[in-house]
Amino acid sequence: MLVSAVQMDVRTQRFEENLETAYRHIREAVRRGSALVLLPEMFTTGFAYPDLEELARATYDESCRFMSRVAREGKIWLVGSIPEPGAGGGVYNTLMWYSPQGKLAGAYRKAHLFSPTREDAYFIPGDEVKAVGIDGAVTGGLICFDIRFPEMARSLALQGAQILLVAAQFPHPRAMHWETLLKARAIENQVWVVAANRIGKSGELEYFGRSMIVDPWGEVAAAEMAEKEAVVTERIDLGMIERVRAILPCRRRPDLYGDLAGTPAAGPQQGQSG
């Protein structure tokens, strides 16, 4: 499977311009033969505080139509994060999967909101983590800050995810964190990680890009390290997952540390220290 991550500048509140930019890069990914294309976080509007709820309601339907049409036109899986208005008010940061038939196949609402930039004041947190099956593979979605929570990536891997898709607006000065966390999520779960980060500037924040595709061994298979718009493309070998797991079996011990369904590990036995 050939996959692409789009690295682009996201212009705050410039909806039509962002769609045009995304479309141009998606067409390049299609030209290369990509079966799946990942876009950055909030690629349609950026974090347009304090008008986010109004903007979400004004753009949501058109954003969905755009993703559906472009996925169908390119015969690709198209994944990207957009602002979704909540039924009772507020906004979700929602990652959406559109199939080559233009159908919505899955959605994930960002669970971990980044309080230093006041995401928690403007967004509603999601409450579900689920894997999404695509043609011949299982994917799991994470949005930016989510990559700091290894339990989430592990939960997706336990659901069968072979490819973790990370849509982000990850800024300076934390480029080292970004690279290290992406590699860690790949290594500890022995899966592929495809990450699309934006470039450019929004308010006081500057974004470094470094979109990349990391293999199950933790090696960077493809990346754009320069702060410029680009399409990062790599052929994903799903068979590598089982080969890596055969070389280095990582067998879990939930009896020691609990599982991800909330069941605690057994406490200390009599005569043992805690």
Q: Where are the domains of the chain?
A: 2-257
Which residue in 53, 84, 110, 224 is the catalytic one?
110
231-246 burial, b at 16+ Cβ within 10 Å, e below that, comes to bbbbebeeebbeebee
Q: Are 233 and 2 in contact (CB under 8 A)?
A: yes
3-state SS assignment for residue 123: strand
Tokens of 25: 């890069």
Per-residue pLDDT tens over the stretch 162-204 = 999 999 999 999 999 999 999 999 999 999 999 999 999 999 9
Task: Assess if CATH 3.60.110.10 describes domain 2-257.
Answer: yes
Catalytic annotation present for 41: yes
pTM for the whole structure: 0.94
pLDDT tens-digit profile, the chain (274 residues)? 999 999 999 999 999 999 999 999 999 999 999 999 999 999 999 999 999 999 999 999 999 999 999 999 999 999 999 999 999 899 999 999 999 999 999 999 999 999 999 999 999 999 999 899 998 899 999 999 999 999 999 999 999 999 999 999 999 999 999 999 999 999 999 999 999 999 999 999 999 999 999 999 999 999 999 999 999 999 999 999 999 999 999 988 888 988 775 666 555 544 443 3
Helices within 43-166 (DSSP H only) = 52-74, 119-122, 150-158
Catalytic annotation present for 188: no
Calculate the CA 118 to chain-centre distance: 20
Which residue in 53, 84, 119, 144 is the catalytic one?
144
3-state SS assignment for residue 45: coil
Per-residue pLDDT tens over the stretch 41-78 = 999 999 999 999 999 999 999 999 999 999 999 999 99
